[in-house]
Chain A
Amino acid sequence: MTISRRDALKTALLAAGSTLAAPAIMRHAALGADPIKVVGIHDASGGLDIYGQPMIACLDFAVDECNAAGGLLGRPIELINYDPQSNIQLYTQFATQAATKDKAAVVHGGITSASREAIRPILRRFNTLYFYNTQYEGGVCDRNIFCTGSTPAQNVQKLVPYVQKHWGKNVYIVAADYNYGQITSKWITKYVREGGGQVLSADFFPLDVTNFGPAISKIQAAKPDAVVSALVGGAHISFYRQWAAAGLKKQIPIASTTFGGGNESILLSPAEGDGIVSAFSYFQEVDTPLNKAFLEKFHAKLGAKAPYLGAELAMRTYIGFNLWAEGVRRAKSIDRMTVIKALESGISLETPAGKTTLDPKTHHTTVDVFVAEVANHGFKVLETFPQQPPLDTASVCDLAAHPNENKQYEVDVKI
């Protein structure tokens, strides 16, 4: 393993931080003993850092909050953050390390579905509990994982009707070329057809593609009523830039299942971003008392370094940690099976994103879903759909009946 300067700096900061925190820890005498190890694996660098950095900030915040309240079971939480640098190989390495060397009580992490599918089998094999806190294409059926983000039956199912109602029936899909983009495109196709429309074409792009010129010409030739994007990562932001540069913003509107998950709306100018519509289970702009209180606390703690939280990824990481913490409190143990059983007992939390309930049968969550539009570097919430269950996964997965199941179901739709 190499130690990057970033890591070295982090260690130094951690050391300094823990020295400063020592008096606080000593006040709770019991906290001195044997911390509970929690591992976070999120991309702090590379093309996926636009998602990773806010997620890490929220996980840090959640752990600090928990420690300030006395930790769990009278023990402090020790958070170990790994940076896989947008590199799948490092994901597998860090997951193995978390399970075997750190003996983590739980691993929170994975951003792309590719990274989740890389580490899910490893954590299952090593009996290490795993929380995946990103909106994704749904269908994962595995008792060792809890997926706290929203899935297509929750977000795409709201996004596509919005598109068809306001813009028109026929859409053109542009998506990232890996399991998330491929499967999500099938879901988009399913809902577009149910709404009486057609998918004119679906184009897939590897994560490092930055030239969308030919794609943009093809889209114009197809004359869709709207473009639905499931593009992922920093390089793909070029699409929105080139779309605006070609003067198409006013001609063909864009909706996206991914836009806003990171800081896309900050990176693009209002002229390029405004008007793009997304659906997620949280936006920083959600107007609830709990969210206001959370943001106040978050900004008071991080100050100018507080990242823009955008859509759900960062918030779901915060909620994911708290769901796990609630499970541990109920289980009165950090033993994996005991915690899983406690989490399956029907846990529900009031969160800044609204009420979140863990579904015991699928290990997915029932959440509030919001449709929002990019406006001046942020989002404007347009519609709210309270308490949407994860119907997609629920239609194929029942872990109560088949606890040993271990697969990802895919929707069967031809594009």
Chain B
Amino acid sequence: MDYAVVVALQIVSGVATLVIVSLGLAVVFGMMRVINLAHGEFLMLGGYTAILSYGHGINLWLSILLLPPIAVGLIGAVVERLLIRRLYGRMIDTMLATWGLSLAFIGGVTMLFGNSVTGISAPFGSFAVGRFHVAGYDLFLVAASVVMSLVIWVVLKFTPAGLIARGTMQNAEMAAALGVAPDRVYAMTFAAGAALSGLAGGLIAPVSGVLPTMGTAYIAKAFITVITGGAAMLTGTLVASGLLGTVSTVFTFLTTPVFGEVALLAVAILLLRLLPRGITGRFLRRAL
């Protein structure tokens, strides 16, 4: 019984991790259709922000929750201004440019901080489930994923900014005709996506440790999740994370982490074969 609870907790935290690392991409790719291959490096920069600020004596919570989104959001705004803005609507060119950006970030961070793993100890300690011990930080990640999703939902659904952003993504010309400057909306949205990725990096830093190439471990999963999710970016990401995270964790328990990853990919391929436009391309089409 206790074991079932522990397994369930692991599944939930596996799902939460997928949600956290995918949300930033969901905004940038799901809403803006910009294929940002530097998404993983935004995570990595968030992780480094957290580790460095904590190393300089800044409070742990500020280091994990506040500084990474601010720093990476700013970086995102600069990247949008210098690079992405020139390439809207040119998907292949964007891929190439952001891939180059990703390599540049990896190289730059390696030069600055060296190519080695650093980390911080996870806060919260542990709690007991029967005779099992579970890290408290796992539950915190679950809570964080819920809060992040809720905030995105509230912003998109109930604030004027969210309405304008959604309107602009749907029909930029109409939005412009109504007096909105699409350029600024795109820039803000991209920066917001980057900030979410930065936050994700800060959140996972205590669990995974941080190194310049850590983004590569997450970017594929994030893309698979967002694409499997389909058109409704928030609902899609949540549903896809739930499905893929569960399958992957269950298989990891039953076999090894290798088959956990294999199962995740197999399910994603199967789903895209059956539902080429993603889960929300068929179900929950009117959701956000």
Chain A residues near B (Cβ < 8 Å): 5-6, 45-47, 49-50, 53, 177, 203-206, 208-211, 213-215, 217-218, 220-221, 234-235, 237-238, 241-242, 244-248, 251, 263, 267, 269, 271-272
Contacts and interface: CB of A to CB of B under 8 A. Distances in A.
Contacts of A204: 256, 258
A206 B208 contact: no
A88 B209 CA distance: 23
B138 interface: yes
B13 A213 contact: yes
A235 B207 CA distance: 11
Nearest to A218: B253
B81 to A, nearest CB: 26
Contacts of B115: 45-46, 49
B6 A242 contact: no
Given A221-B3, A237-B117, A238-B119, A246 B134 contact: yes
A46 B213 contact: yes
B132 interface: yes
Nearest to B212: A45
Contact of B209 (A6, A221, A241, A271): A241
B17 to A, nearest CB: 7
13 contacts: A5-B111, A49-B116, A203-B256, A213-B10, A213-B14, A214-B10, A214-B249, A214-B260, A217-B3, A217-B6, A220-B6, A241-B121, A245-B124
Contact of B119 (A49, A53, A177, A241): A241
Contacts of B132: 217, 220-221
Given A214-B7, A234-B117, 14 more contacts: A47-B211, A211-B207, A211-B257, A213-B13, A214-B10, A214-B249, A214-B257, A217-B134, A234-B116, A241-B121, A241-B122, A245-B137, A263-B116, A267-B118
B121 A272 contact: yes
Interface string B109-145: 0110011111101101111000111111110000000
Given A50-B117, A206-B257, A242 B207 contact: yes
Contacts of A5: 107, 111
B154 interface: no
Q: Considering residues A220, A221, A245, A247, which has the most beta carbons from chain B within 10 angstroms of its beta carbon?
A: A245
Contacts, number: 120
Contacts of A247: 125-127, 133, 135
A163 to B, nearest CB: 21
A2 to B, nearest CB: 12
Contacts of B114: 49
A242 B13 CA distance: 13
A270 B133 CA distance: 20
Contact of A245 (B110, B135, B252): B135
A213 B204 CA distance: 13
Given A50-B116, A203-B256, A238-B119, A211 B125 contact: no
Could you say which interface size class chain B belongs to? 35 or more
Contacts of B17: 211
A156 B69 CA distance: 46
Contacts of B13: 213
B133 A246 contact: yes
Given A218-B253, A220-B131, A245-B122, A211 B208 contact: yes
B92 interface: no
B121 A271 contact: yes
Contact of A244 (B121, B134, B138, B214): B121
A360 to B, nearest CB: 39
Contacts of A205: 256-257
Contacts of A53: 116
Interface string B8-40: 001001100100000000000000000000000
Interface in B131-170: 131-138
B208 A177 contact: no
B178 interface: no
B42 to A, nearest CB: 18
A164 B74 CA distance: 55
Contacts of B253: 214, 217-218
Interface in B174-207: 206-207
A213 B13 CA distance: 9
A50 B213 CA distance: 15
Contacts of B110: 45
A136 B111 CA distance: 31
A6 B114 CA distance: 11
B274 interface: no
B217 interface: yes
Contacts of B111: 5-6
B249 A269 contact: no
B249 A245 contact: no
Interface in B202-248: 206-209, 211, 213-214, 217
Nearest to B123: A245
Nearest to B130: A220
A221 B6 CA distance: 10
B135 A242 contact: yes
A220 B124 CA distance: 19
A267 B138 contact: no
A215 B253 CA distance: 7
A238 B209 contact: yes
Contact of A47 (B6, B117, B260): B117
B121 to A, nearest CB: 5
Nearest to A241: B119
Contacts of A213: 10, 13-14, 135, 138
A361 to B, nearest CB: 38
B126 to A, nearest CB: 3
Contact of A248 (B116, B133, B206): B133
Give the 8 A-B CB pairs with smallest separation, nearest first. A247-B126, A234-B117, A210-B208, A45-B115, A245-B135, A245-B122, A246-B135, A214-B252
Nearest to A251: B133
